[in-house]
Amino acid sequence: MYEYIRFSSRNAPADGQSLYTINLPKTIQNATSCHVKSFSMPNTAFNVTTKNNSFEWYETIGNNTNPPPILQATIPAKFYTIEDLITTIATEMTTVSQSTKASGDTLASLTFTMSQIPSTTTVDTFHIELTGTIDAGGTNTAQKKFCPKVYKGSIWTMLGFAETFRVEPTHHGRVNPVLEPNLILNPITTRGDGRFKSITATTTGSNATKTAAFSPRDSHECYHITSSLADAVYEVEADGVSRHTNYLLTVPNSSNRYSWIHYLPTEPVFHNLHGVNLNQFTIGLADEDGLLMNNEEHQEFSVVLAIEYEPQHKPLNSGQQQTLMWRKSHC
C-alpha cells in the first residue's frame, strides 16, 4: 500500500537554505520503500548563486612566484544573461587586479575582457574567451602570470573552463594545489576547444588569452532532490571515484528559460526504508554540483513522494474472536 505526500516550498523562509524538515501528522508504520512520483518548478532559478558568485584566479603581483598569489572577486547572486555575466566578471577582475598594484610594484596590472567566439567544432555554439591586457606603466611585463582557478562548482566551470590545477602531496604528507606547468600564463595566446594547448610566449604589452572548452549555459543542467530517506545512492565522478550521495532523484533540465520544469520519471528510483516507522524526514533541492541552493535563488517547487508500507494486523481480542466465530457459523 502507498501513502502519497505532496511537498511544496511555498511557505519556506526567503532567506533560508533549500532544506526542509517534514513532520507527518500520522506515523507511517512499517515503511518499506519510497520514490519520487513528480517534480515541478519554474525554470527561473539563479544561474549565479551564493555558492559560486565568488571566484578566484592566479595572478603575479609583485614577484615571479610559482604558483602566483590567488586573487578573488565577488559578483551579486542573481540570474545573468551570458552577455551580462561575462561583462560583470571582467569588470570585477579588472578592479581587483588594479587594486593589488601597490606603489612601486614592478609588475603591471591586467585589464580583463570577455567575449563569445564561435566554436570550431560545434555548429551554433559559442565559447567564452577571456583576455588579459597588460597595462602600461609596469616593468618585467613579460613575466606577468595569470590563470583562472577552476574547481567543481565554480563560476569558471559554468563558463566552460576546464580544471586548471591538480593536487599533489608534499614531503610532509600535506596536500597542496600545484598548477599544471603548461597552464601558468606568461602572457600567452592559446586557441582551441580542448584543454588549452599550443603555448606561445608573446612580447611585452600583448594579450594573454584563454578560450573556454565548452559552451556556457544560462540555466542549471539538472537538479537533485535530496532527502534523509535516500538509501545507498552512489555517484561516479570525473575522477572515477564513487561517492555516496543523498539524492532521491536527479531531474534533468532541458526546458527553455522562463518555462516550467515538469518531470515524471519513466523509471522510478526506489529507496529501501527497511520497515521503519516514519514520522519525519527531510527534503532538499541541490544544483548539478550537489550544492544545496538557497530559497531566494529559485521559485516555489513541489515534489510528490510515494511511500510504500506493509499494513500491520493486530491480534484479535476475545470479543473480536467471538464475533468472527459467530459470523463464520452463520455464513
Instruction: Give residue 202's pLDDT band: very low, low, confident or very high (50, 70, 90).
Output: very low
Higher model confidence: residue 86 or residue 133? 86
pLDDT tens digits for range 7-25: 999 877 767 889 999 999 9
Give me the pLDDT at residue 237, please. Answer: 58
How far apart, in whole angstroms, are the C-alpha atoms of residue 99 and residue 107? 13
- Kindly list the domain boundaries of the chain, sorted by start residue: 2-38+239-309, 54-211
The residue among 175 and 319 whose pLDDT is bigger is: 319
User: Mean pLDDT, to the nearest integer, of 119-123?
Assistant: 67
Quote the pLDDT of residue 166.
38
221-245 pLDDT, tens digit each: 899 999 999 975 665 555 555 667 8
Average pLDDT rounded to a whole number, residues 125-142: 64
Judge if pTM exceeds 0.75. Answer: no
